[in-house]
Amino acid sequence: MSADYPTLARTIAALTAGETDEVALMATLACEIHHADERFDWTGFYRVTEPEILKIGPYQGGHGCLVIPFSRGVCGAAARARRTQLVPDVEAFAGHIACASTTRSELVIPVFGAGGRLIGVLDIDSNQPDAFTQEDAQALEGILHATFGAL
């Protein structure tokens, strides 16, 4: 099963219409995105809680790392660079943090609120190597912008 992004975007828009609480939105997106595609082994958010620090937010899957500094891992790189990180092989990513030993590839997308304020990152892990595409990244970036862009 591969994600049907147009349907996923419509479903998320309907479920989140009028909601402004970031954590409630993250919880809904984590659930909907996680169950939209069998490649997604862990799906969740890391929130910016203080300067240069990400803390775990709503997620689906096994346990995640609790705290990730901007200086470490794929999530830290996405937050630091404010750019999507598409990593086909986590073992080849310098500084990868192994929150789960089964993770083989990762897609991390920065989440921005109004005015470009960095809220956190969406982290999607797969137990399959090279699981993610630019299409995945672009579709999810659009969903995140539509959901959080006005907050």
According to DSSP H, which parts of 57-111 are helical? Answer: 73-81
How far is Cα 121 from Cα 85, in angstroms, rounded to an integer? 10
Q: How many domains does the chain have?
A: 1
- Domain of residue 12, CATH code: 3.30.450.40
Cβ pair 40, 2 in contact under 8 A: no
- Which one, of 148, 128, 144, 29, lies nearest residue 87 by Cα? 128
**pLDDT tens, N- to C-terminus, the chain (151 residues):** 689 999 999 999 999 999 999 999 999 999 999 999 999 999 999 999 999 999 999 999 999 999 999 999 999 999 999 999 999 999 999 888 878 788 999 999 999 999 999 999 999 999 999 999 999 999 999 999 999 998 8
Q: Three-class SS of residue 48?
A: strand
Domain that holds residue 78: 5-148
